[in-house]
Chain A
Amino acid sequence: MNAIQIMGLTKEYAGRRVVDQLELTVRSGELFALLGVNGAGKSTTIKMLCCLTVPTEGDGLLMGHSVRTDSHAAKEILAVSPQETAVAPGLTVGENLELMAGIYGRPKSRVDEVTAQLGLGQWVKRRAKTLSGGWQRRLSIAMALVSRPEVLFLDEPTLGLDVLARRELWGVIRGLKGHTAIVLTTHYLEEAEALADRIGIMAAGKLRAVGTADELKALAGRENFEDAFVALAGEGAAS
């Protein structure tokens, strides 16, 4: 079943197209990585699908709910872990999770489940602002999971983290695969290659290529994924 169906999604700012006629489907339980250089249109795409900005043209369906015309229903089944760490700094870890449970009407037991799932038990009474960057990111993802979303957007979840913290978060993200449709945006090519079922490469607002890492390497005629990305994204950016 398609969790996300994108049809001609387009966004213009002051006459400049930053996302141009995007067509894509993501299946339930699939982890889809969206790659692209800065300004490729990844974050704008995520914002439109999270109902944070209105598409100029086209539409996106989340489990059949239009982000344009049925955004309230779409918001009930989506969750986002934004690019910046999005936590309430003055609240404890437990209180941050309880806040999200309260907003989505989930029971307290769901907070306990997510706390255990993401290994946050030892920090549950610590104020969020006192956590390290890696743990704040983990909390940010936990807050997105409290509502049991059917569609989860992870916007640059490991940006700025050291290698160890990044690898730990990869483990967390791998643990989510199969349960919910995940769209992951990242600059780290090895992250997409390691985690994603399929990868989409965006350049200049257009989706240039979609496939598994091996399919994209074959498409670009390159041995390694970085070379394949440069060939496909560079080709898109140049056009």
Chain B
Amino acid sequence: MRMLAFAKRNLKELFRDPLTLFFGLGFPLVLLVLMNVIQRNVPVHIFELETLAPGIALFGLTFLALFSGLLLARDRSTAFLSRLAASPMTAADFLLGYLLPLLPMAVGQSVICLAAAVALGLPLSWNLPAVVLSLIPSALLFIALGLLCGTLFNDKQVGGMCGAILTNATAWLAGIWFDLSLVGGAFQKIAYLLPFAHGADGAKAALAGDWAALPGHLLWVCLWAAAIMAAAIWLFRWKIVER
């Protein structure tokens, strides 16, 4: 009940911010259209919709880290969070309250991105819902990263960490714009130690119907998401709820 009341508040705060709606729902769409236009005007196949659409759907989810982090950091910077910390809310109430409103946004974002890809020529298939589902662990990962940053840093720092560093790290290390094997070596090894490339590859595997490849990628993302969420909960409890 407490968690749901808090989640409702966060949902309203998020959806009343026009920048959230633009970056959350509109920006990935702009990228997809732009890359598709580029592809139509070059003779080589670099931005095929089959690889580009799942990649951009994943990239769009990086903004969830920014939204969750900013919301938490802004609450921390005012006495609003102190008021709630003096209430019977637990750390789980707080973090689930921040997390839950972003999950429908993540699903909506992925659906819009894939719908746009279909409009641009991606074949309609029953694998598309599987792509949306395969992206949920990545959504949880990015929300957890945002909550971790929001617990530790102020809103300006969160803007830099999640808005610039994380989006760039994901863009380069997830293999969205290029095949990571083309770079190879240490870069590729590091990319596959991190969860972003697995998130993108999982979505690509789901779109291709490569069900054998899917669990390995998802498991890696889930492990990272669980570790980061556990760290966020521990730090939040230590810093805010248990003082």
Binding site for B on A (CB under 8 A): 50-54, 72, 75-76, 78-88, 90-91, 95, 98-105, 143-144, 147
Instruction: Say yes or no: B83 contacts A95, CB within 8 Å.
Output: no
Please tell me which stretch of B9-17, B170-178, B182-190 contacts chain A, meaning at least 4 of its Cβ atoms lie within 8 angstroms of it: B9-17
| Residues 186-217 of chain B, each 1 if its beta carbon lies under 8 Å from chain A, else 0 | 00000000000000000000000000000000
Of A52, A72, A90, A95, the contact of B82 (CB 8 Å cutoff):
A52
- Judge whether B42 is part of the interface by a CB distance below 8 angstroms: no
A selection of 23 A-B contacts at a CB cut-off of 8 Å is A52-B85, A53-B243, A75-B86, A75-B87, A80-B86, A81-B83, A82-B82, A82-B83, A83-B79, A86-B78, A86-B79, A86-B82, A88-B13, A88-B80, A90-B17, A95-B12, A99-B6, A102-B4, A102-B6, A102-B8, A103-B87, A105-B1, A144-B83
Asked whether A52 and B4 contact (CB < 8 A) given A90-B17, A91-B13, the answer is: no
Cβ 8 A contact of B79, one of A54, A82, A90, A147: A82
Most buried by A among B16, B80, B242: B80
CA distance A53 to B89 in the complex (A): 15
Residues of B within 8 A of A53 (CB): 243
Q: How far is the CA of A38 from the CA of B1 in the complex (A)?
A: 39
**Nearest chain-A residue to B93 (Cβ)?**
A103
> Quick one: which of B54-101 are within 8 Å of A by CB?
78-80, 82-89
**Residue B2 at the A interface, CB < 8 A?**
yes
- A54-B243, A102-B2, A102-B4 known; A80+B82 contact, CB < 8 A: yes
A87 touches B85 (CB 8 A): no
| Interface residue? B5 (CB, 8 A) | yes
B243 A88 Cβ-Cβ under 8 A: no
Q: Measured between C-beta atoms, what is the minimum distance from B167 to chain A in Å?
A: 24
Contacts of A104 in B (CB 8 A): 87-88
Total A-B residue pairs with C-beta atoms closer than 8 Å? Answer: 77
Whether A76 pairs with B82 at a CB distance below 8 angstroms is no
- A90 in complex: contacting residue of B1, B16, B83, B85, CB < 8 Å: B16
Find chain A residues with CB under 8 A from B80 CB.
86-88
User: Which residues of chain B come closer than 8 Å to A75, judged between CB atoms?
Assistant: 86-88
On whether the beta carbons of A90 and B13 are closer than 8 Å, the reply is yes
Instruction: Give every chain A residue within 8 A of B79 (Cβ-Cβ).
Output: 82-86
The 7 nearest A-B residue pairs measured at CB:
A102-B5, A82-B79, A86-B79, A84-B79, A86-B83, A50-B86, A90-B13
In Å, the complex CA distance between A36 and B14 comes to: 40
CB contacts under 8 Å to A, within B1-38, are 1-2, 4-6, 8-9, 12-13, 16-17
Taking a contact as CB atoms under 8 Å apart, the answer to whether A78 and B12 are in contact is: no
